[in-house]
Amino acid sequence: MAEVTQADARPSAPPPREDWPGEDWPGDGWAGTSDPAAYVREDADGTAELDLVVENLHCPGCIPRIEGAIKGLPGVLDARVNLTTKRLHLHWRPAEVGAGTLLGAVTRQGFHLAPYDPGALRGGNAEEAKALLRAMAVAGFAAANIMLLSISVWSGLVSDMGPATRGLFHWISALIALPAVAYAGQPFFRSALGALRGRRLNMDVPISLAVILATAMSLVETAGGGDYVYFDAAVMLLFFLLIGRYLDLRVRGQARSAAENLMLLHAQGASVMTADGTSRALPIAEIRTGMRVWVAAGERVPVDGRVELGRSEIDTSLVTGESLPRSVGLGAEIFAGTLNLSGPLEIEVTAAGEGTLLAEIVRLMEAAEQGRSRYVRLADRAARIYAPAVHILAAASFLAWFAFGGLGWQASLLVAVAVLIVTCPCALGLAVPAVQVAAVGRLLKKGVLVKSGDGLERLAQVDTVVFDKTGTLTQGRPELANRSDLTESELGLAAAIAAASRHPLARALCRAAGEVEPLKAEVREEPGLGLAAILDGRDVRLGSRTWCGVEVTENDAPESELWLAVPGRAPVRFAFRDALRADAAALVAWLKARGLAVELLSGDREAVAREVALTLGIERWAAARKPADKIARLEALAAEGRKVLMVGDGLNDAPALAAAFVSASPAQAADISQTAADFVIQGEGLSPLAEALRVGVTSRRLVLQNFALALGYNAVAVPLAMAGLVTPLIAALAMSASSIAVTLNALRLNLIERTAQP
C-alpha cells in the first residue's frame, strides 16, 4: 500500500479579511487556510460538529474559559476541550450560529486554533518537548556563566574589588542574562501575552511577571551602580521552571489518554480498488461509502466495512478489548483501527474518517476523560479564583515587608516573586483529570468503554448490582439443546423452513443444521406464531405449540422451544438454551464476596429465570418483568438509599439503564454509540465489569489523595513564601514538584497489583 501523507494545513499567516469566503471571521488565532466550514461535519438531525486543536493550551484553568466562551452562544449544544490531546469538539445548530462565530469566541480569548489532524498529534508533542529542551539548555548555560561572575562578587574572594570592577561584572552578567531570558522565557511569555490579550489570567502570567521583575530590578541596579543584582536568580529561576515544565510534559505523556492512543490508529490513506482491478492510494478524506479498499496482511484497517474477498484473522484488541484474534471471511463486519494479521482482504467501505467506529470511540473517550464530575467542578472553581488571589497575596507581601518588615525594596520584591511562583494552581487543576485519564485508559485496555465523565465517581459508591438476563448474563444467542434427540431428516426439514426467517430461534436451527438443501416451496411467516409451507400438498408448520396444534400444557421447562408439525406424524420439539456467559458465575461470586447485593430482573419466563438464578447463586430474582417493572424496582431500591449498578442489554434495557444510579451494558461493537449505559463492556465476557468496579474505587481514593497533596502543598508553601522563608528558586522547584507529584500519584493506578477477581 502506498503511503499517503497529509500536508500541513497551517499557513505562515492567516488569510486577509477581505479574502475570507465566509460571513464570520474567526480572528487572527485561526490557523486554517480556508473557511472553518470546510472542516464541519453535517449530522442527519440538522446539527453540525467540528473538531479543532487549541495550539497554546497548557493549563487546566484554560478549559472552563474556552468552554464558557462558546456555550453562551445561541445554538451551541456542546463544547468540550480535552487537556491531554488539546482537542476542541463543537456541536451546534448551523441555522442559529456560524462556525466562524464559534471560533472567534475562542480566538478573542487569546487562543490559537488549527484544523484537527490526528497525524500531527505525536509530532506536535515532540516539537514542544524539543523547544523546552532548547530553552532549558540556553538558560542552564547562561546561569552557569552568570554564577561564575556572581561568585566573584558575593563570596568576598576578591576583597579588593572596587565599584568599577563590580559594575563591569554586573554589566557582563546583564549581557548574558538579557538574551537568555528573552529566548528561554518564550514558552511562558507567549502564553502570558496571549492570555492578557484575551483579558484573562493564566498560570504563566505570574511566572512571567516574576522573571521580568527580577531581571528589570537587576538592570535598574546595574545602571545605577548598585551593589546587588539578581541576574543569576532570574536565569536560574527560568532554568528550574523549564525543568519542571519539561518533566511535567514527559510525565503527562506517560499518562497519555486512551483517546490519544486511539487517534494514532487513524489511517491517513487507503488503497482503493479501481474498475480495472488495480489499486491507487487515496487520502482518507476522499474515501466514500461503497468504495472497495485493499488491506494487505500486517496493515491496519483504514475504514469500517464488509469483507468482499479473502479470509484472514483480525486483531481487535485495541478497539474491542478482545485478546484473541477473530477470524473473518465473506460478509464479515470489520472496523477501522483493527490489525489484519494473516491474509489480504478486499473491503467494501461502510464508513470512513470521522464516521467510523474508531472515531466514535475516540469522541466517547474524550468526553469521559474531560467529564465534569463533582470533583472536576470543585477543582475548576478553586482554580478560577487563584489568579486574583495570587496577585493580591504577592502585592500584600511586598507592601508588608517593605513598609513594616525592615527590608529594602529589592528584598521585598524577591519575597513577592517567590509568592508569585509558589502559588501556581496546576496541582489542583490536574488532581482529577490526571486520574480520569489514567482510569479511562486502563479500562479501555480491559475492554470497558467509559461513556460518562462522572461514571467512575458514581461507580465507586455502588452497593447493589442488578442484572438483566438475556444478552447480559447469557450470551443472547440461543443454541439447539436437544440435537441428539432429533433425526437428520427432522432437523434438515425444520432448518430448510427456518431459513426464511430472521427470528433468533430460526437462526439457531440453521446454525445447528449447517448447510441444508433449499426448500422448493413458498414459506409464509405469521408474526408471533411461526412459519408454514405447503410440501407435497401438506401444510407443514414450524413454530409455537398453538401454531403447530400441540396440546397446550404449562411449560415448566427452562428451555425455549419450536415445534415441527407434519400431517400424519408426531410433532417434533426443538429445545433451545441461551448459554450463560463463561465467567458469569465467577463474577457473581466475586461481587457477593465484596459485600455487594446482587439481584436478577428478567423479562423471560419464571422457569428460565429460576434456573439462571439458581445456577449463578443469585438469591433475589424476578421473572416476566417488563421495562416499567424494572424501573419501578430500581426506584424502590433508590428509595431505600441503595446505589444501584444496572447491568443490561444496551438497546433493550435502555429505560432501566437510564434510571439506575450508574449503568453498564455488554454490547456489540456496532451498538456502542446507541446504548444508554455509562459503561460499555466489549467482548464475550463479563469479567471486565469487576475491573471497572475496582478501578472506580481506586480512582476515587487517588482523587482524594491528589486533592490532599495539592491543598497541603499550598497550605504549607504559601505562608512560608509570604514569611520570606522561600527563595524564588525553591518556589520554582516546589511548584513543579507539586504538579509532577499529582500526576505520578495518578499513574499509581497502573501499578496497583490485581486482587483476586474473575
Catalytic residues: 468
Q: What is the CA radius of gyration of the chain?
A: 33
For the chain, helix (H) and strand (E) counts, in that order, are 23, 27
User: What's the DSSP call for residue 469?
Assistant: I
| Closest of 511, 501, 502 to residue 479, by C-alpha | 511
Residues, the chain: 758
Rounded Cα–Cα distance for residues 164 and 171 (Å): 11
Rounded Cα–Cα distance for residues 70 and 664 (Å): 32
Rounded Cα–Cα distance for residues 467 and 245 (Å): 47
- Nearest 5°: phi and psi at 689? -65, -35
- Nearest 5°: phi and psi at 385? -90, 0
Question: Parallel, antiparallel, or unpaired for β 345-351 and 662-666?
Answer: unpaired
User: What's the DSSP call for residue 55?
Assistant: T
| Closest of 521, 518, 441, 464 to residue 645, by C-alpha | 464
Read off the C-alpha cell for 323: 485478546
What 3-state DSSP class applies to 171? helix
Which residues face 88 on adjacent strands? 52, 81
Question: Parallel, antiparallel, or unpaired for β 644-647 and 464-467?
Answer: parallel
| Closest of 585, 565, 579, 582 to residue 508, by C-alpha | 579
Burial class (CB in 10 A: 0-12, 13-18, 19+), 414: buried
Tell me the CA distances in angstroms from 241 to 135, 393, 410, one per residue in order.
11, 21, 22
Tell me the CA distances in angstroms from 537 to 568, 574, 608, 693, one per residue in order.
13, 24, 38, 61
Specify the DSSP element, H or E, that contains 705: helix 688-722
Are 649 and 666 contacting, i.e. CB atoms less than 8 angstroms apart? yes
DSSP E strands, 481-628: 523-526, 530-535, 538-543, 560-565, 572-580, 597-601, 620-622
- Buried (b) or exposed (e) across 416-431, using 16+ Cβ within 10 A? bbbbbbbbbbbbbbbb
Are 297 and 341 contacting, i.e. CB atoms less than 8 angstroms apart? yes
Q: Angle of helix 163-184 relative to helix 121-154, nearest 10 degrees? A: 170
End-to-end CA distance of the chain: 42
- Nearest 5°: phi and psi at 511? -65, -40
Rounded Cα–Cα distance for residues 352 and 486 (Å): 47
Number of CB atoms found within 10 A of residue 17's CB: 8
Number of CB atoms found within 10 A of residue 182's CB: 12
| Closest of 653, 612, 619 to residue 634, by C-alpha | 653
Rounded Cα–Cα distance for residues 333 and 312 (Å): 12
Rounded to 10 degrees, the C-alpha dihedral 410/411/417/419 comes to -150
Q: Where are the alpha helices (DSSP H) in 594-675?
A: 606-616, 627-639, 654-659
Q: Where are the alpha helices (DSSP H) in 162-295?
A: 163-184, 186-197, 204-223, 231-254, 258-263
Read off the C-alpha cell for 659: 434510571
User: What's the DSSP call for residue 518?
Assistant: P
